[in-house]
A and B are shown apart, each in its own frame.
Chain A
Amino acid sequence: MMAPSASPCIFETAALGYLARTEERGPARWFRRYVDLYPVFLAPATVTEQMRGYALLAEGAVPERLPAIEAARDSYLERLASGAAAVVPTGAAEALVAAQLAVLVPFSPSAPRRKGFFAESRQDRLARWRSQISIAASALAAGMPLVHDSPGDYAPVAALVERFPERFPGVARPRFLWVRKLAAA
């Protein structure tokens, strides 16, 4: 288990939402200690997904709900503007890693999400998978740990990077951490 002081991390989209809301003692304590030390680093794809989410919510909201959604969105933007969250720069290194991952794992290892009568379409799952690849590539190219909430998706990615190091020159051993297993000493 990685101590919160060990390294700055990149947080995958769902992992950040989980950490901000969780009451689970281990992850909550880990996150509190982490943000005491480092900014929350985000891949550009995460900011795109989260801001798209706020925008879609605002578009479809009934008038009474709109102020709460806008306030949440503004709080998120304040985190970015204040430097408490930082977007990792992307360049050729990320693009090359993402290209290799897209070839090795063209489709998501996990199935589309489903909840009651609602489901993620295959097309939307593929689009989300490409975002996940982009996030993983950002972490791998930066040599930073990735905190995620999708072990079924990221464990195979880590295994492939370790199995085919010649496809990922200059990339260090992946450090992918499942957010629900985080705990501070």
Chain B
Amino acid sequence: MATKKTAPRKLALSVPPDVYGKLERIARARRTEPAGAATALLRRAVGEVEFVSGMGQEHVEAWKRAFAPLTEEEMLLVDGILMSDATRQ
């Protein structure tokens, strides 16, 4: 028996007609109601984003500060590639 924590919660959604049309087609293919299909799709989508912190762009900018100011030649060194004058090798 579902406890208070595990019992399904009701959620009223307004969706655009094209989304609802697709949902109906998915529901028919899965032999369920549109609400059942929407729950299954939401479960997948929420699973993908549940850990997202929203800090991604800030982290990217911080990484850029470590590498973007360097020229292509300087980046070779930081990439671990030591180059020297080939005519002297």
* Residue ranges of A at the interface with B (Cβ–Cβ < 8 Å): 3, 5, 13-14, 16-17, 19-21, 28, 31-37, 40, 46, 49-50, 52-54, 56-57, 68-69, 71-73, 75-76, 78-79, 84, 113-115, 117-121, 124, 128, 131
**Which applies to chain A's interface (DSSP): helix, strand, loop or mixed?**
helix
Q: With a CB–CB cut-off of 8 A, which chain B residues contact A54?
A: 78
Q: Is B11 an interface residue (CB 8 A)?
A: no
Q: Once bound together, how far apart are the Cα atoms of A70 and B59, in whole Å?
A: 19
Question: When the two chains form the complex, which single residue of B56, B78, B85 contacts A17, counting CB atoms closer than 8 Å?
Answer: B78
Q: Are the CB atoms of B80 and A119 closer together than 8 Å?
A: no
Instruction: Name the residue on A nearest B47 (C-beta).
Output: A5
Q: Is B16 an interface residue (CB 8 A)?
A: no
Q: Is B66 an interface residue (CB 8 A)?
A: yes
Mark B41-73 against chain A: 1 for CB-CB distance below 8 A, else 0: 000000011011111110110111111111000
7 contacts between A and B (CB under 8 A): A5-B48, A35-B63, A37-B52, A49-B79, A73-B66, A79-B62, A120-B84
Q: Are the CB atoms of B79 and A75 closer together than 8 Å?
A: no
